Amino acid sequence: MPRIRLAAAWVVVAAIAIGCASAASTSSGNPPGCPGNVPNAKVSCDTAGLQCTYGCGVTATCSGGGWSVSESNISCPADSGAPSDAAVTCGSSNDCHSGMECSPGGVTIGCGICAMPQNPCSADSDCKLIDDAAPVGPMVCGPGGSCTCPVGGKSGSCIPACQSASDCSSDETCSPTGHCVPKPCTTDAQCPSTAAVDYACSAGTCAVKSCQTSADCGAHYCVSGTCYAQPGMCVEPPA
């Protein structure tokens, strides 16, 4: 009898462990293609523009066939709870109450906190060594985002050099130097339109489509003069 009870106990423990592992693997909220853990610049990726988050302070973005990782140098803020249900849709910040801003999808505009590049650089020559070792493939210095905290005066991040246009986002092409650059064009038809973004030919290169009203954006929405897949919502600026 004790052996039977012990065996039953192990079955219960195993079931709980499996359940917890399953919950952990699906609770990250990241889209398909994101690594389970924070990747480094030596790990390749296939989906340009794919963005993965790890906790509240680390973001990894697939760019040029590799991962660019930014990490906040400020501790994570406490959870402030769910947003209000009284969200107000808008086409520009003029439609919002004083002190609020119009944002596509209600994403907070601005930085609030800044993020540090994982492998900081200011020129391609800074990327000859990654973690004191030669990288597997050629690396280039990718531009830092608007919310990047410079490290030693360097705000760029080392990323794998592109080999072809397929390594870049749909509105870019691969330059001979291994950098993804805006795709040249002469007509709007040469620029892509995706489920998330509408592009148009502007000043000889593909760029996100500008607009006056949502009628200019097909099935998408005009928010502050640019076409987005989500309608604008009034949000408070970051603290």
pLDDT by 10-residue block (mean), the chain, 239 residues: 38 34 41 76 70 68 72 44 56 88 76 79 93 89 83 90 89 92 91 76 90 86 87 80
Whether 28 is in a domain gets the answer no
For residue 195, the model assigns a pLDDT of 65
Q: What are phi and psi of 224, to 5 degrees?
A: 55, 40
For residue 26, the model assigns a pLDDT of 31
Whether 225 is in a domain gets the answer yes
The pTM score is: 0.56
End-to-end CA distance of the chain: 62
Whether 59 is in a domain gets the answer yes
Number of domains in the chain: 1
Whether 31 is in a domain gets the answer no
Q: CA 228 → CA 85, 152, 216, distances in Å?
A: 22, 36, 11
Whether 10 is in a domain gets the answer no
Whether 160 is in a domain gets the answer yes
For residue 112, the model assigns a pLDDT of 65
CA angle 201, 124, 182 (to 5 degrees): 5
Cβ pair 93, 127 in contact under 8 A: no
For residue 161, the model assigns a pLDDT of 93
DSSP labels, 141-189: EEPPPTTBPPBTTB-EEEEEPP-SGGGS-TTEEE-TTS-EEEPB-SSGG
Whether 6 is in a domain gets the answer no
For residue 139, the model assigns a pLDDT of 93
Whether 110 is in a domain gets the answer yes
Domain that holds residue 96: 37-75+88-235
Helix (H, G, I), strand (E, B) or coil at 67: strand
